[in-house]
Structure 1
Amino acid sequence: MPPAPERRPHPLSPRYWGIHLVAVVLLAAAVMLGVWQLDAWKAKREAAVRDLTTVAAKPLEKVIGPDDPFPGQYVGQPVSFTGEWLPRSTFLVSGRERGDVEGYWVVTPVTVDGTRSAMPVVRGWTASPSSVPAAPSGTVMLEGWLQPAEGTGEVDTDTTDAVLPQLRIADALHFVDEDLYGAYVIAAATDHGLERADLDQLPPAPRFSAIRNLFYAVEWWFFGGFVVFMWWRWLQDEVLADPDGDADPEGDEDDVPA
Structure 2
Amino acid sequence: MSAASSSYRRALAPREWWAHVLAVVLVASAGLLGWWQLEAWQERRAAEAADLTELAPVPLADAFGPDEAFPERALGRPVEITGTWLPAETFLVAAPGATTWVVTPFVDRETGSVLPVVRGALAGDAVRPPAPEGDATLVARLQPSDATVPIPEVAQEVDGDLYSGYAVALAGQPGTEGLTEADVEQLPSPSRFTALRNLLYAIEWWVFGLFAAFIWWRHVRDVAAVPETDPETDPETDPETDPPADEPTEEGAAEDAVPSEP
TM-score of the aligned structures, taking structure 2 as reference length? 0.54
- Give the drift of 1:109: 1.4
Partner of 1:123: 119
Return closer, same or farther for 1:123/1:225 CA change in 2, 3 Å cut-off. Answer: closer
Aligned length: 195
Which residue, out of 107, 117, 130, partners 2:103? Answer: 107
What is the CA–CA distance in structure 2 between the aligned matches of 1:242 and 1:93, rounded to whole Å? Answer: 69
What is the CA–CA distance in structure 2 between the aligned matches of 1:52 and 1:242, rounded to whole Å? Answer: 60
* Residues 145 and 166, structure 2, Cα contact 8 Å, conserved in 1: yes
Cα deviation 1:221-256 (Å, max 9, x = unaligned): 443233113323444566x7896x443322259x96
Question: What is the identity, as a one-letter code, of the residue corresponding to 2:78?
Answer: P
Bigger radius of gyration, 1 or 2? 2
- Give the drift of 1:114: 3.7
User: Equivalences for 1:56-135 in 2 at 5 Å?
Assistant: 56-66=56-66, 67-69=68-70, 71=72, 74-75=75-76, 77-94=77-94, 104-125=100-121, 127-128=126-127, 132-135=129-132
Q: Secondary structure at the match of 1:119?
A: strand
Cα deviation 1:190-224 (Å, max 9, x = unaligned): 438x413324x332669xxx9xx899877654432
Partner of 2:209: 225
What are structure 2's unaligned runs of at least 5 residues? 1-26, 242-262
Percent of aligned pairs sharing the same letter? 32
Cα deviation 1:2-27 (Å, max 9, x = unaligned): xxxxxxxxxxxxxxxxxxxxxxxxx9
What is the CA–CA distance in structure 1 between the aligned matches of 2:144 and 2:85, rounded to whole Å? Answer: 20
- Give the drift of 1:80: 0.3
- Give the drift of 1:120: 0.7
Return closer, same or farther for 1:125/1:73 CA change in 2, 3 Å cut-off. Answer: closer
- Give the drift of 1:178: 2.2
Return closer, same or farther for 1:219/1:94 CA change in 2, 3 Å cut-off. Answer: closer
Q: Secondary structure at the match of 2:210?
A: helix
* Residues 101 and 121, structure 2, Cα contact 8 Å, conserved in 1: yes
User: Equivalences for 1:1-258 in 2 at 5 Å?
Assistant: 34=34, 38=38, 39-48=40-49, 50-52=50-52, 54-66=54-66, 67-69=68-70, 71=72, 74-75=75-76, 77-94=77-94, 104-125=100-121, 127-128=126-127, 132-137=129-134, 139-151=135-147, 166-188=148-170, 189-191=173-175, 194-199=177-182, 201-203=183-185, 220-235=204-219, 245-251=227-233
Partner of 1:13: none
- Give the drift of 1:185: 2.2
What is the CA–CA distance in structure 2 between the aligned matches of 1:110 and 1:237, rounded to whole Å? Answer: 72
* Residues 124 and 190, structure 1, Cα contact 8 Å, conserved in 2: no
Larger relative strand fraction: 1
* Residues 105 and 123, structure 1, Cα contact 8 Å, conserved in 2: yes
